[in-house]
Amino acid sequence: MGQKQRASSDVDNEVKKRRRVGFSGIDDGVEAKDCITIYLVSSKEEFDAPESFVIHPVDLNSFFNDDGKIYGYVGLKITIWISSISFYAYADISFQSSSDRGKGITDLKSALQTIFAETLVDSKDEFLQKFMVDNDFVRTNISEGEALKHKAFEGNICDSNQHTDSSTSNVEVVRLVAGKMATGQLYSHIIPLTLLLVDGSSPIDVTDSQWELYLVCQKKTDQQGEIQCRLIGFTAVYRFYHYPDDSRLRLSQILVLPPYQHKGYGRFLLEVLYDVAISENVFDFTVEEPLDHFQHVRTCVDILRLRRFDPIQNIVTKAVSLLKQGKLSKKTHCPRLLPPPSAVEDVRKNLKINKQQFLQCWEVLIYIAINPADKNTENFVSIISNRIKYDILGKDSGTSGKQLFDVPSDVDEDMSFVMFRSEANEASNTVQMDDNQANQEEQLQKLVHERLKEIQLIAEKVTHHLGNTGVAVD
């Protein structure tokens, strides 16, 4: 079959057409953290100030699509301002162009409203107006709350830009109970910052009266003589029922606003919570999935409290004396060193520190009591290594069972021993271990090294604080 010969001019025209046809590049998107900047401002003047305080969210990407990216924009830049007075927010969105290049166009307003909800205002003018209209937002909403404790902080008055003076800051902790309009109103304004700054956080049910908010507020007088109330931080605590007629306090969320961090406010808030737990004689005080930094502060606070609790200091002294009885690492069975059950119960009843937290503090208390230059430190490492090995491998580590060591004592007979104990099912295996023996041993040694480093850091901070009460454990 023959083919029709096309004229050369027709061929040239077709080539030119093909050259004009192309495919636009696939939209790779942009990660939210790379195009969004968030400022925390306390006045109109700070809005355009180049040194305004920048906050760094833990994971902005989680609010945008499954892969954390924004699609459909070229040259996208999002600037968000959050008022530290009333916690309203305003977002300025700019971009060079917008088009669907295969992945759609991200609805930016909807995504931002997922974070800020009703606190997101539509215009810059409206946002700036809020500094005047809602200047008393915090003071109004805490007016019916219960003031629990006051404290003066020297030289810690600061705004969002870290401007400080040498004045005394009058700080108080106020308790609000959920189920009331003021509590819901205030919490709805501060939850966006909580979602941005606290990893894994989610809103509480503000209609459930078992929830309580504890707010750290700073009061100072402005140039006009008006008393201003600033929110420094807060915590959300749930009151659980404990059989038969008791309750337990569980801390679920805690946030100290970035400009006020590392100044002792977090520690002050924890101390107030413990005061509440003791004065109301709850069963104990617990924390829901504490993050590493908070756990560090919490342990420092608890160590200081435990060191003032004489019955525990007596037991720590006995435990340290046991570490002098030869090299534990060379013994066939190197046991774990635990306080007697009576001590665990005394700490819970008197200090409201639960068992798990007390055992974390116990190792630090022993370390502080040991002379660092003493060879007994080697025995301490053996105790930590053995405890971690048992927690991970359980009875297979060959440390099951318990041993009691009598210690000469002039006090109550019940206090005249320290227990080396290894109970089955006491701790769950939360670390995935390699099946290979060599790799497993390497992993265990890494965990031991990390725990020893953690103990050392806490001990140094606590002893430094004891020598200088002006140091903030926060």
The residues annotated with a catalytic role in the active site are 288
Secondary structure E strands in 188-262:
211-221, 227-242, 246-256
Q: Which residues contact 439 (CB under 8 A, 6 or more apart)?
A: none
Q: Is the dihedral of CA 248, 257, 87, 149 positive or negative?
A: positive
Q: Is the dihedral of CA 232, 234, 457, 368 positive or negative?
A: positive
Which residue type is seen at 386?
Answer: N
Q: Which helix (H) or strand (E) holds 169?
A: strand 168-177
* Coil, helix or strand at residue 338: strand
Rounded to whole angstroms, how far apart are CA atoms 42 and 103?
A: 38
Rounded to whole angstroms, how far apart are CA atoms 410 and 408?
A: 7
- Dig out the tokens for 428 from the structure: 């769950």
* Coil, helix or strand at residue 235: strand
Cα 379 to its chain centre, rounded Å, is: 33
- Dig out the tokens for 377 from the structure: 């430190």
Q: Which of 157, 170, 276 is nearest to 213 (CA)?
A: 276
CA dihedral 191, 192, 194, 199 (to 10 degrees): 130
Do residues 304 and 473 make contact, with C-beta atoms less than 8 angstroms apart? yes
